[in-house]
Amino acid sequence: MEADERIQHAIEHTEVVRPPKQSLATFGATNIYYYLVTELTEWVNVVREGRVIAARPKIVTPSYLINLEGFSPQARRFIEMMAERYPHEPGIFYTYKNEPREMNIVSESVQAVIEKLNRRIDSQRDPLSAIIKGVEELWDVSLLKFTYELTKSSVSNNVAELERSGLLHTDAAGVPRDARNYIEELFEKTKRDPSWAPELISELRRWGLFYEYQDRFLSLFKKR
């Protein structure tokens, strides 16, 4: 089976059995605890546990994304095309971190495992727990599908809340209000702790704002 076909197979055979009861937060990080169940044989299954931590959604523009690392050449070319057409069109950028915890092999049917996990979550009363039935060979693809669906189900609410708060509005420089607020937050953090300076510089450069804030940035490090 070709790589793309295997990935497609994993996507089609992944089921979010129990989604979290809350969507991704708009104004803070969201910490989802997941149980990913995959089948080795009919009566032997693997249960992986971990956390998917979603950072607070950021409002970005194509011009901002051009200055981010980690995109493939094809993805970067797409971003460049969008930046040429809609340089200051705001959108929401989600970032995630996976923190694997335990992995256990259990000699029970998939259904029995899922029922036990459901009872565990019910007893814990955790609205941010999820159960995913995935494919062992590409279990990480199953986890990514879960993350994608979680984002898709959250984005409309996130956009509505950001719109109501006025954070999607861009200024004359094409910078969203949310980005200006984050820059102010980074200035305060850097003032208290200089180790934040690299992140502040990076954020200013991603927005093309370093020269606008240059004097203010340098004043943080002047001897008093």
Strands (E), the chain: 15-18, 30-41, 44-54, 58-60, 91-93, 96-106, 129-134
Cα 46 from Cα 136, distance rounded (Å)? 8
Q: What domain count does the chain have?
A: 2
The string of pLDDT tens digits covering residues 40-65 is 888 899 999 999 999 999 998 888 88
Residue 26, in any domain of the structure: yes
Neighbours of 166 (CB within 10 A): 10
- Asked whether residue 150 falls in the same domain as residue 101, the answer is yes
The string of pLDDT tens digits covering residues 103-148 is 999 999 999 999 999 999 999 999 999 999 999 988 988 998 999 8
Domain end residue (candidates: 139, 165, 191): 165
Identify how many contiguous H helices and E strands the chain contains and give both numbers.
8, 7
Categorise residue 154: left if φ over 0, alpha if ψ from -120 to 50, beta otherwise: alpha
- C-alpha 100 chain-centroid distance: 16
Q: Which pTM value belongs to this model?
A: 0.81
Residue 87, in any domain of the structure: no
Position 154 scores a pLDDT of 93
Residue 172, in any domain of the structure: no
* Range of the structural domain that residue 107 is part of: 3-57+94-165
- Asked whether residue 105 falls in the same domain as residue 203, the answer is no
- Asked whether residue 155 falls in the same domain as residue 184, the answer is no
The string of pLDDT tens digits covering residues 170-224 is 999 999 999 999 999 999 999 999 999 999 999 999 999 999 999 999 999 876 5
- Asked whether residue 49 falls in the same domain as residue 123, the answer is yes
What is the DSSP pairing of strand 30-41 with strand 44-54? Answer: antiparallel
pLDDT of 68 higher than 80: no
- Asked whether residue 50 falls in the same domain as residue 104, the answer is yes
Domain end residue (candidates: 119, 138, 165): 165
